Each structure stands twice: as structure tokens, then as C-alpha cells.
Amino acid sequence: MERVIKIGLLGLGTVGRGVYRILQENQESIEKRAGVKLEVKKILVKSLGKDRGIVIPEGVLTTDLADITSDPEINIVVEVLGGIHPTLDYVLEALNQGKSVVTANKDMVAEHGQRLFAAAQKNNCDLLFEASVAGGIPIIRTLKQSLAGNHIEEVFGIINGTTNYMLTKMTQDGSDFQEVLQEAQAKGYAEADPTADVGGHDAARKIAILASIAFNSRIPLHQVYTEGITKITADDIAYANELGYVIKLLGIAKERQEGVEVRVHPTFIPKNHPLAAVGDVFNAVFVRGNAVGDTMFYGKGAGELPTASAVVADIMDAARDIIRDVPGIIGCTCFEEKPVLDIGETHSKYYIRLQVADKPGVLASIALVFGNKEVSLKSVIQKEATGKTAEVVLVTHRVLEQNVTDALMDIKQLSSVLEIANVIRVEGEE
Amino acid sequence: MERVIKIGLLGLGTVGRGVYRILQENQESIEKRAGVKLEVKKILVKSLGKDRGIVIPEGVLTTDLADITSDPEINIVVEVLGGIHPTLDYVLEALNQGKSVVTANKDMVAEHGQRLFAAAQKNNCDLLFEASVAGGIPIIRTLKQSLAGNHIEEVFGIINGTTNYMLTKMTQDGSDFQEVLQEAQAKGYAEADPTADVGGHDAARKIAILASIAFNSRIPLHQVYTEGITKITADDIAYANELGYVIKLLGIAKERQEGVEVRVHPTFIPKNHPLAAVGDVFNAVFVRGNAVGDTMFYGKGAGELPTASAVVADIMDAARDIIRDVPGIIGCTCFEEKPVLDIGETHSKYYIRLQVADKPGVLASIALVFGNKEVSLKSVIQKEATGKTAEVVLVTHRVLEQNVTDALMDIKQLSSVLEIANVIRVEGEE
């Protein structure tokens, strides 16, 4: 008896087209591996007439959501529309109609995960979202299943391809932020309004999702400390290189006794760290578990086919669960409530670049302030700049962020300090 | 209602102890994540009295297999004995008694996979073996589930930690094979009889398993071309470095129109390849899928806790399946029969090091032979050696292996060629 699972697709943009293509092109092996035939019965689009560069059989496209959510033959709804409104309502409707849902929507999962999981659980459906973080890299299934025996201590990684492309370029060419941004926009790697990427907000949603799974505690997006790469200069990149580091925009989540740290910011990491070699638009996620030790997962974090690869894997899992009548076999795992620590309560090393007056005693006065605030220094570089100014670059030992913030408040008051040019956290070394 | 799944452990060596420890130490989170309490009811050991450095409650240890396989309360049997006899019989007995089986045994899975899967299917049980390849790296679940929507084109990687440690040391210190082997043995990284590791046989079993899953076609172990690292010298390492490569022992599996290539051998890979940075005892597996593109999975390939991490994840999956009454939801996927190509039918680039007489015309005569056999050369280095001999190092373009073999047969006959010192395949670049 051949069993067919029918799918409703919400959206036929880049990822939707990729999902449709993979289901067609790899049809035979997908059917054998899933143990069931998968068929896209309906696709919700805004306009029936638009040319999408792909042949869709007659009658499959629809502009009416009810053609999908009210069709009892459709068991799986795949959401690749993006955005939150009206997408969230569509997805809740699908779950309430008893459809398993596969989504690639990080915004929706990060901000409304709780409502979505509650609806999935109530209706005994799968809610799968592998594609929402790091595109084709199977990090969510890895955390939920493959590393489930571990106490996860840290998850951190490069989870935004646009900014990784830009930082890679800046490192290779010594070019400045604005220049590289324009190049990335010309290549289609950065949006016309690049705020979500370069401001770190895209990465914040993804690390909120990863941290929630890793620590079994829902991390509200507004509690993720978020800092983008807009202040990174060619000078910072050059100093990083001189000091043995590269600069990456990292999403970082760590569990400590007092609570969890969840943050996104540009980060110095040692050149020999596995993440340092991850260039261009590639993503990689580093996970440390108490049993497995250090692991890393690398691949393309975006794009039509890599993202669709993750969506199709979720569809296959959902289909298997439906045939065996066990949807929801792996559901929400946020069964704890751990406090999210304020950024002032986190610990890190810090790279600090200061513009100072080029006169005797400046360094001593700066060092004194740091000492008073219990910030111990690991290395100091002083360089002459133009005319009467000099540049001081410090790297601290591992210290409490609040102490650094307090020290910098006092340092700003020093008459010989002209500017705190940049402060960047250092991670990935003992 | 609290549900408890009871486990029988076969063996309490390094990995068995790790499994027991993780199940104890991470008990609370494992119970919440699996949705069920896991309890080790019985452990099969050879001797009850031996001190294993771990406290086991009274009555848990047994020397009688039947205490496990005939106990209807035990639903999951975890095999961490190793070896094939009598382990295979024990595991078949467990499956035939309707127990799901989790194993870390690459030898058994690679050589007797077909019988084991048939027994699992017949008895409607899970047969899970994540720990059998690359220790803590979740590569099997990744291939079976997360990348299941892809047509997998290539899987290759560093899947033997001992040899990777040795090659890393040889590269860092310029030391010779024998010297490093002794050091590895002293550190416990290599066995007293190191043949399985340095001869490539351990890696061959693992790549046979990975290829079988990736290509959905059972790869018999005897069809895996296997070459170890015993012939690698400090000279080869130095030439690799000079030419922009590092030497790694790789397991390689590629699908081509004509069939599949499955082989283990020392390999030149470019220094900027993600696998090149994988040092010491770490493992990493590179997978190329037609949708996801290039991905890589990195972690510890052996050791008590990393291996146990994979075993425990499998136990949790098996437990979930048992509670939901769906064991075997993801079973054997070898539903095709693809021919395994002979090594002569494979394509690669080749590094070839020759000892020749130091006189005019030698290089020309060598180049002529290669040309006659359609082996085109990419680069040639000639170095003076002691007295009247010189060393010629060639790197070919991508060619058919049989042509290289034929050319070398002819080259051996040239009176000016004293020795074919080494031939090493080059992979990981276009």
C-alpha cells in the first residue's frame, strides 16, 4: 500500500522554491528514506500570475489560506513566508487544524515560540524549525537529540552569513566597514536596509533559539544583549591580527551557576580557534557538552537550497511521525526557568582601544584606574599617532564586565584621554 | 504516571563506564528530555569482583547474558563489549528477544550489518549505532535524518584519532613515523599492536558504515581500498608543506555515475581546507550534499565520555520510540545496490616522489612516460640529494588511477630511476 503525505506550502519565495525543487529532484531517494511519498498539494501565494522561474502544475497555487488549512488531506504545512504578521496567525491556524508545521522563520520562533509550542502540544502536532537557525547546518536536531545526554555548557558561533562575509573581506583586504557593506549589497549578500544583519538582530534571534534549546529554558529575545559590527574599523582588524586574533560576530550562550549569559557582539577569537577559519558566508556553531567535549558544526547558513535542505529534513521527520501516528515525539524542551544575566554580570576578556594625549604619565594614570576597578591587564600596546596624540591598545584578563564599564567611566574623565575608540570582547581561549 | 525504561548493559569497560556515569550525572535533564526515566538494571561483566573505579549497586552486575536478554523488564540492550565473537551472538539474541539495541561496535556493524538489521526489522526493534563512527560526532543521525533530503555526493573525513594525532605530531615536529608511534603508545593513544589504526583498518570500517548510509547501498568491508600511514616519512610531510598541503589519513566515499568509490589512504589536502585545521585526536567529517552544499562536523572521535555521549543519545531515541511504540521508525536504508569501483577506476591527483640518478635527461624520460599514459603533470620539483642521486617530486592533474599505476610500472623500468619512494593521493581541491 503506497501512502502519500500531502503538504501545503505557505510562500513560494527563495526558500519555498528551493523546497519545491528538492522535493522534485530528490523525489525517489526522499520517498525511500522517509518510507512515504511526499506531495505538495497546495501553495499559498499572493499572486497567481507571477513568473517564479519554476513550473508548478495547474491548480496547485492558491491565494486562499483555507485551501490549505481546511483541507483534511493536507497533513503538513510548511511555512516559508517569513515575517510575523500575518504568518503567525496562519501557522497557529494550521496547528489548530491538526497539521504538523515546519518553519524556517527565526523571527516568529524567537518571539512567539511559547504560543506556537503550546498550540503544537495541544493539537498533538510536530513543530519543527531546523531551518530557522544556521540554514543547512543541522544544529537544532543535534542539540535536541544527538547531544541530549549532555549538560550543554556553551553554544557559540557564527550565525549570520552577511556579517561574516563582511568581516572576512575587511580582514583580507584591510578595507573599511562602509566600503565592504556597499560591496556586500552589490553582491546581494546584504539588504538595502542592512540593520537586521549588521546590527546583530538576526544573530540575536538565532542565539535566543539555540540557547533556549541548549539550556531547556526559554530565552526572551529582549534579554539578549545585542551589539552589531558597525563600529568595527580597519584599525581594530589590524590590531586583532597583530595580537593573534580575528574578529567575528558571534552569538554566545553560556550557562553558569547564577544563570545564563546570552549575547551577540563582535568578538576577538584566537587565530587557531576552529571558528577563526570559517570565512565568507559560511556559518559554524561550536557546542561544548559535559560529556562530548568540544564539537563544531559547519555549513552554509542561508541560501535557497541549503535552507531548503533543512526544511525538507523536517518535512521527512514530520511525515514519519504522521505515518506512525506519533507527532510531537520530540516537542518543546523548555521545562526550566533560568535567569538571564545582565551584560554587566558576564565575564570576558576585553580589547580596549583609546586615543590619548602623547605625553608622559598617561599610561600610568590609565593603568591605575583599571587596577582600582579590579581589571587586570594582559597586554598593552602604545603607538604614536599624528601630532600630539597616541593610541593605546589594552587587552584585559578575564574580568567582570561591570568592572570594565566602571573603569571606562573613570577613564573618560581623565584629561589625557581623548576618546574610547572601541571596546571588543575576547572569547575562545582559556 | 512515571514510566521507567530499563537497560541492560553488555560490558563495563571504558565506554560502558562512561555510559553509566552520564546516565547518573545527567540523570535529571536526561529524564526530562527523553520524557522517561532510564535505569540500568543489569550489566554483563566477565568477573564480578574486579575494581572498576565506579560504584555499582548490589545485584546489578551479572555474568549471565540471560539475566539481560530473558528479562522482560529490560527493553534496551546497550552493547559496549567490542569485538565480534561472542558479541554478535549476544546482540542477535537481544534483538530476537525484542530488545532495541544500541551499539558502539564498528567492527560488528561494518561486517555484519545486514544480519543485524534484518534481525532488528524482523523483531520491530531499533538498532542504533551512532557511537560506532567518529565517537561523539553525531554523523550517523545527521546523514540518516538531517541531510536526508539531499543526494549525498561525497563523505570524507578524519575518522581515526590515533593516526591524526601521529600525523599532527609529525607535521609539527618534523619527526619520523616510528618516533611518533612510540610517543603515541606511551600516551595511550596507540595500542601495543597499532595495526588496526596505522594500517587504516579502523578507518575502513567507519567509512564503510558512512558510505552505506550516505549512498543507501551496503558497502562490504573487503571492497574498501585500504592503505595506512606506515610509509609516510618526514620527507613527505616536508614536501606537502612546501607544496601547500598537509597529510591526513582520510576515509573517502564518493558517488559517481558508474558506482561508488570507497577508500582509506593518506591524503594531501590543501592547507586552507576545513579538514586541514583538525589536529591531534580530533575527528571531522566533511559531507557534500546536492542541496546543502559543503558541511563539516567536528569533535572527539574516541574516549570514554565522547563515545558515551553518542551511546546515551541513542538510548534516549530508543526509549522515546519504545514509549510511543514505534521502534524501527528509522531502520536500515540500504535499499539500493551500487557497484563499488576498483581503485584503478578512481580519479585523483597524485603526489609522486622518486629517487633518480642525477644526470641530464632523467626528468624528460619520466615526463615522457607519464605523457604516454595520459597522466598530465601539474608541478615538478627536482632536488639534489647526496652524491649522484636526486629527488624528483611530481604532482599530477586529476587523472585515472590505472593510468598512474601503468605509468609507474614503466617508470620503474627506467635505468635512471632508482626508487619510487612514495605515491600519495591529493584531494579536497577542484
Query: Which residue in the list B41, B99, B169, B206 is annotated as catalytic?
Result: B206
Q: Which of residues 23-62 of B touch A (CB under 8 A)?
A: 23, 25-26, 29-30, 32-34
Residue B347 in grid coordinates = 580519479
Residue A219 in grid coordinates = 530565552
Query: Which residue in the list A6, A99, A169, A206 is annotated as catalytic?
Result: A206
Helices A87-96 and A106-122 meet at what angle, rounded to 10?
A: 20
pLDDT at site B430 = 76
Share the mean pLDDT of chain B: 95
- Model confidence over A126-153: pLDDT tens digits? 999 999 999 999 999 999 999 999 999 9
Closest chain A C-alpha to B291 CA, distance in angstroms: 5
* Closest chain B residue to the Cα of A303, Cα to Cα: B292
Of the partner residues B141, B272, B329, the one whose CB lies closest to the CB of residue A320: B329
Is B150's Cβ below 8 Å from some Cβ in A?
A: yes
Q: Which residue, among B26, B30, B78, B150, would best test binding to A if mutated, counting the most A CBs under 10 Å from its CB? A: B150
Please state which of the ranges A106-120, A285-299, A327-341 shows the lowest mean pLDDT: A327-341
User: Is a pLDDT exceeding 80 seen at residue B65?
Assistant: yes
Q: Confidence class of residue A329 from pLDDT cuts 50, 70 and 90?
A: confident
| Chain B residues closer than 8 Å to A18 by CB | 291
| Chain A residues closer than 8 Å to B306 by CB | 291-293
Is A385's Cβ below 8 Å from some Cβ in B?
A: no
Using CA atoms, how far apart are residues A424 and A266, in angstroms rounded to an integer? Answer: 6
Taking an 8 Å cut-off on Cβ atoms, the answer to whether B149 and A313 are in contact is yes
Q: Which of residues 187-216 of B touch A (CB under 8 A)?
A: 216
- Model confidence over A242-267: pLDDT tens digits? 999 999 999 999 999 999 999 999 99
- Model confidence over A42-70: pLDDT tens digits? 999 999 988 888 999 999 999 999 999 99
pLDDT at site B316 = 97
Q: Which of residues 151-170 of A touch B (CB under 8 A)?
A: 151
Taking an 8 Å cut-off on Cβ atoms, the answer to whether B293 and A313 are in contact is no
Q: Confidence class of residue B252 from pLDDT cuts 50, 70 and 90?
A: very high
Higher pLDDT, B420 or B388: B420
Return the SS3 of A300: strand
Work out the average pLDDT over A346-357: 96
Is A218's Cβ below 8 Å from some Cβ in B?
A: no
| Chain B residues closer than 8 Å to A296 by CB | 296-299
pLDDT at site A331 = 84
Q: Which residue, among A21, A147, A150, would best test binding to B if mutated, counting the most B CBs under 10 Å from its CB? A: A150
Is B326's Cβ below 8 Å from some Cβ in A?
A: yes
Work out the average pLDDT over B380-407: 91
Residue B181 in grid coordinates = 608511534
pLDDT at site A52 = 86
Backbone angles phi, psi at A44, to 5 degrees: -80, 125
| Chain A residues closer than 8 Å to B317 by CB | 145
User: In percent, how much of chain B has pLDDT > 90?
Assistant: 91
Of the partner residues A141, A216, A309, the one whose CB lies closest to the CB of residue B289: A309
Higher pLDDT, B330 or B108: B108
User: Is a pLDDT exceeding 90 seen at residue B387?
Assistant: no
Q: How many CA atoms lie within 13 A of B32 on its CB side?
A: 14
Taking an 8 Å cut-off on Cβ atoms, the answer to whether B26 and A291 are in contact is yes
Give the helix/strand (H/E) hosting A281: none
Work out the average pLDDT over A103-108: 96
- Model confidence over B187-240: pLDDT tens digits? 989 999 999 999 999 999 999 999 999 999 999 999 999 999 999 999 999 999
Nearest to B143 by CA among A146, A80, A18: A146
* Closest chain A residue to the Cα of B292, Cα to Cα: A306
pLDDT at site A387 = 72
Is B294's Cβ below 8 Å from some Cβ in A?
A: yes
Active site residue A300: no
- Model confidence over B66-81: pLDDT tens digits? 999 999 999 999 999 9
Using CA atoms, how far apart are residues A312 and A26, in angstroms rounded to an integer? Answer: 10
Q: Which of residues 81-140 of A touch B (CB under 8 A)?
A: 130, 136-138
Residue A290 in grid coordinates = 559535559
User: Is a pLDDT exceeding 60 seen at residue A32?
Assistant: yes
Taking an 8 Å cut-off on Cβ atoms, the answer to whether A296 and B299 are in contact is yes
Work out the average pLDDT over A190-219: 96
Of the partner residues B148, B277, B324, the one whose CB lies closest to the CB of residue A329: B324
The alpha carbons of chain A give a radius of gyration, in whole angstroms, of: 24
| Chain A residues closer than 8 Å to B25 by CB | 151, 290
Q: Which residue, among B22, B28, B102, B145, would best test binding to A if mutated, counting the most A CBs under 10 Å from its CB? A: B145
Q: What is the 3-state secondary structure (H, E, C) of chain B?
A: CCCEEEEEEECCCHHHHHHHHHHHHCHHHHHHHHCCEEEEEEEECCCCCCCCCCCCCCCCEECCCHHHHCCCCEEEEEECCCCCCCHHHHHHHHHHCCCEEEECCHHHHHHHHHHHHHHHHHCCCCEECHHHCCCCCCHHHHHHHHCCCCCEEEEEEECCHHHHHHHHHHHHHCCCHHHHHHHHHHCCCCCCCCHHHHCCHHHHHHHHHHHHHHHCECCCHHHCEECCCCCCCHHHHHHHHHHCEEEEEEEEEEEECCEEEEEEEEEEEECCCHHHHCCCCEEEEEEEECCCEEEEEEEECCCHHHHHHHHHHHHHHHHHHHHCCCCCCCCCCCCECCCECCHHHCEEEEEEEEEEECCCCHHHHHHHHHHHCCCCEEEEEEEECCCCEEEEEEEECCEEHHHHHHHHHHHHHCCCEEEEEEEEEECCCC
* Closest chain B residue to the Cα of A23, Cα to Cα: B149
Taking an 8 Å cut-off on Cβ atoms, the answer to whether A136 and B295 are in contact is yes
Distances (CA, A) of A30 to A18, A27, B121, B288: 15, 5, 20, 17
Work out the average pLDDT over B262-274: 95
Using CA atoms, how far apart are residues B20 and A149, in angstroms rounded to an integer? Answer: 11
pLDDT at site A2 = 65
User: Is a pLDDT exceeding 60 seen at residue A92?
Assistant: yes
| Chain A residues closer than 8 Å to B300 by CB | 292-295
- Model confidence over A363-376: pLDDT tens digits? 999 999 999 999 99
Residue A197 CA, distance from chain mean position: 10
Is A148's Cβ below 8 Å from some Cβ in B?
A: yes
Share the mean pLDDT of chain A: 95
Nearest to A68 by CA among A49, A28, A41: A41
Binding-site residues from annotation of B for L-homoserine: 191
Higher pLDDT, B359 or A213: A213
Q: Confidence class of residue B37 from pLDDT cuts 50, 70 and 90?
A: very high
Backbone angles phi, psi at A290, to 5 degrees: -70, -15
| Chain A residues closer than 8 Å to B130 by CB | 146
Of the partner residues B23, B277, B329, the one whose CB lies closest to the CB of residue A277: B277
DSSP A102-139: EE--HHHHHHHHHHHHHHHHHTT--EE-GGGSSTTS-H
Using CA atoms, how far apart are residues B129 and B154, in angstroms rounded to an integer? Answer: 21
Q: Confidence class of residue B2 from pLDDT cuts 50, 70 and 90?
A: low
Between strands B37-44 and B61-62, the pairing is parallel
Using CA atoms, how far apart are residues B261 and A140, in angstroms rounded to an integer? Answer: 31
* Closest chain A residue to the Cα of B306, Cα to Cα: A292
Closest chain A C-alpha to B359 CA, distance in angstroms: 44
User: Is a pLDDT exceeding 90 seen at residue B295?
Assistant: yes
User: Is a pLDDT exceeding 80 seen at residue A210?
Assistant: yes
Higher pLDDT, A188 or A211: A211
pLDDT at site B276 = 93
Is A273's Cβ below 8 Å from some Cβ in B?
A: no
Nearest to B138 by CA among A313, A30, A144: A144
Taking an 8 Å cut-off on Cβ atoms, the answer to whether A136 and B290 are in contact is no
Closest chain A C-alpha to B398 CA, distance in angstroms: 26
Domains of chain B: 4-135+304-323 (3.40.50.720), 147-298 (3.30.360.10), 346-426 (3.30.70.260)
Using CA atoms, how far apart are residues A408 and A352, in angstroms rounded to an integer? Answer: 9
Q: Confidence class of residue B243 from pLDDT cuts 50, 70 and 90?
A: very high
Backbone angles phi, psi at A99, to 5 degrees: -90, 140
Work out the average pLDDT over B385-405: 92
- Model confidence over B332-352: pLDDT tens digits? 889 999 999 999 999 999 999
* Closest chain A residue to the Cα of B291, Cα to Cα: A305
Please, what is the Cα angle at B250 between B247 and B252, to 5 degrees?
135
Taking an 8 Å cut-off on Cβ atoms, the answer to whether A150 and B34 are in contact is no
User: In percent, how much of chain A has pLDDT > 90?
Assistant: 91
| Chain A residues closer than 8 Å to B299 by CB | 292-296
Give the helix/strand (H/E) hosting A286: strand A282-289
Binding-site residues from annotation of A for NADPH: 106
Work out the average pLDDT over A291-310: 96
Q: Which residue, among A14, A146, A334, would best test binding to B if mutated, counting the most B CBs under 10 Å from its CB? A: A146
- Model confidence over B149-197: pLDDT tens digits? 999 999 999 999 999 999 999 999 999 999 999 999 999 899 999 999 9
pLDDT at site A360 = 86
CB B392 within 8 A of CB B356: yes
Taking an 8 Å cut-off on Cβ atoms, the answer to whether A293 and B305 are in contact is yes
User: Is a pLDDT exceeding 70 seen at residue B1?
Assistant: no
Is B334's Cβ below 8 Å from some Cβ in A?
A: no
Return the SS3 of A372: helix
User: How many CB pairs below 8 A link A and B?
Assistant: 193
Work out the average pLDDT over B35-62: 94
Q: Which amino acid is at B342?
A: D
Taking an 8 Å cut-off on Cβ atoms, the answer to whether A147 and B137 are in contact is no
